[in-house]
Homo-oligomer: A and B are copies of this chain.
Amino acid sequence: MDNTKKTVSLGVDIGGTNTAIGVVDAEGNVLVKANISTPTHGDVDLYVAEMGQTIRGLISDVTKLNPEVTFAGIGLGAPNANYYKGTIEYAPNLSFKGIIPLVDKLKALFPDMPKIIMTNDANAATMGEMVYGGAKGMKEFVMYTLGTGVGSGLVVDGKLVYGHDGFAGECGHTMLIPGGRVCGCGIRGHLEAYCSAIGMKRTAFELLAEYNANDSLLASKPFAELESKDIYDAAVKGDKIALMVFEKTGDYLAQGIANTIHHTSPEAVFIFGGPTAAGDLIFEPIRKNLDKYLLTIFKGKCKILPSALKRGDAAIVGASALVMD
Chain A positions near chain B (C-beta within 8 angstroms): 80, 89-90, 139-140, 154, 156-157, 159, 161-171, 173-178, 185, 187, 255, 258-260, 262-267, 292-298, 301
Give the contacting residue for A171; candidates B165, B262, B296; CB below 8 A. Answer: B262
The winner among A166, A174, A262 for most chain B CB atoms within 10 A is: A262
Would you give the shortest CB distance from A227 to chain B, in whole angstroms?
A: 26
Would you give the shortest CB distance from A26 to chain B, in whole angstroms?
A: 26
Q: Is the interface of A mostly helix, strand, loop or mixed?
A: loop
Q: What B residues does A140 contact at CB under 8 A?
A: 163-164
The winner among A167, A185, A259 for most chain B CB atoms within 10 A is: A259
Q: Given A157-B159, A175-B258, A259-B174: A265 and B164 within 8 A (CB)?
A: yes
A90, closest chain B residue (CB): B296
A157, closest chain B residue (CB): B159
Q: Given A90-B297, A297-B80: A174 and B262 within 8 A (CB)?
A: yes
* Given contact pairs A80-B297, A165-B301, A174-B258, a sample of 4 additional A-B residue pairs in the complex whose CB atoms are under 8 Å apart: A139-B164, A167-B297, A175-B175, A175-B293
Give the contacting residue for A265; candidates B90, B156, B168, B296; CB below 8 A. Answer: B168
Copies assembled: 2
A265 touches B185 (CB 8 A): no
A265 touches B167 (CB 8 A): yes
A174 touches B263 (CB 8 A): yes
Q: Which 8 A-B pairs have the closest CB atoms?
A: A163-B265, A168-B265, A164-B267, A140-B164, A174-B259, A170-B262, A263-B263, A174-B262
Q: What B residues does A264 contact at CB under 8 A?
A: 154, 161, 163, 168, 263-264
A91, closest chain B residue (CB): B297
Give the contacting residue for A177; candidates B89, B178, B295, B296; CB below 8 A. Answer: B178
A161 touches B167 (CB 8 A): no
The winner among A174, A187, A260, A263 for most chain B CB atoms within 10 A is: A263
Would you give the shortest CB distance from A126 to chain B, in whole angstroms?
A: 13
Q: What B residues does A260 contact at CB under 8 A?
A: 263
A159 to B262, CA, bound (A): 17
Q: Given A140-B164, A165-B265: A295 and B185 within 8 A (CB)?
A: yes
A252, closest chain B residue (CB): B178
B187 touches A154 (CB 8 A): no
A263 to B297, CA, bound (A): 21
A156 touches B167 (CB 8 A): no
Q: What B residues does A168 contact at CB under 8 A?
A: 263-265
B262 touches A173 (CB 8 A): yes
A265, closest chain B residue (CB): B163
Q: Given A140-B163, A157-B157: A175 and B259 within 8 A (CB)?
A: yes
A185 to B166, CA, bound (A): 34
A23 to B179, CA, bound (A): 49
A129 to B154, CA, bound (A): 24
A185 touches B89 (CB 8 A): no
Would you give the shortest CB distance from A112 to chain B, in whole angstroms?
A: 29
Would you give the shortest CB distance from A110 to chain B, in whole angstroms?
A: 27
Q: What B residues does A267 contact at CB under 8 A?
A: 164
